[in-house]
Copies of this chain bind each other. A is one copy, B any other.
Amino acid sequence: MHGDADIASIGALVADPGRARILLALGDGRALPASVLADEAGVAASTASAHLSRLVKGGMLKVERHGRHRYFRLSGPEVGELIEALARISPPAPVRSLKQGSKAHAVRFARTCYDHLAGMLGTKLMEGLLEQNLLAGGDGVFDPEAARDDRLAAPGYDHDYRLTPAGIKDLKAFGIDFDSLPARRPLIRYCVDWSEQRHHLAGSLGAAIATRMIELGWVRKAGRSRALHVSDEGFTGLREQFGVELTPTNGH
């Protein structure tokens, strides 16, 4: 028999700024080599190595050998969920350099969250879908106070979003093939976006929309961070098809 859960040991792993940056970089489930992560964390290779082995020993990361590189990734979705939960209540980090500043800006503007869209892009899209009545069942806002009514309600499960007939029609026109979506995964879920404190679309539909937008060239992965770059066609397409008013400058 064992005792209570030792959450302090996990907390200690996250407590170091270098390790935290490593976790954030791996946040959407990608695999990255140690050297890149050292760079990402802003520490020497030896230091990063120590951090990485502690994270592996603690069960948060797992390793894959590929030639003389060692690729690290989150050991499971629960870890990603933890990172999201942490980011949601974390204060904004102090900006260390101009480059870091604009990089953080890009991540907040549009990024990947697992396999769907997040950041301002993700939440504005959700808003557009709701305004055009393609989606119904919630208002897209994250309101910690509302949940207080019945003490502390279950976390993040407070809305039942569903597609409207118009939504199915428009999304089919957009290029979503509903028949080919995985059966066992729910069509529509939502995440609370940590940078916007609003909802963005997840579930298999969220993933399909993200895939389709990349396919159309509306967005593309920017560099090796989770940030996404929105193309001109993306901006016009988002406005015309989903009523999303998004401009390259309204990020901050």
Name A residues whose Cβ lies closer than 8 Å to a Cβ of B.
1-17, 19-21, 23-24, 28-29, 59-60, 74, 76-96, 100-101, 104-105, 107, 114-116, 144, 146-160, 182, 184-186, 189, 191-192, 194-195, 202-204, 206-207, 252
Contacts and interface: CB of A to CB of B under 8 A. Distances in A.
B6 A10 contact: no
A189 B5 CA distance: 23
Nearest to A84: B155
A162 to B, nearest CB: 11
Contacts of A79: 89
Copies in the complex: 2
Contacts of A9: 90-91
A154 B116 contact: yes
B87 A85 contact: no
B144 A159 contact: no
6 contacts: A3-B96, A10-B86, A11-B16, A81-B155, A115-B152, A157-B202
A101 B9 CA distance: 19
B28 A7 contact: no
A157 B203 contact: yes
A17 B9 CA distance: 8
A98 to B, nearest CB: 11
Contact of A207 (B81, B101, B107, B150): B150
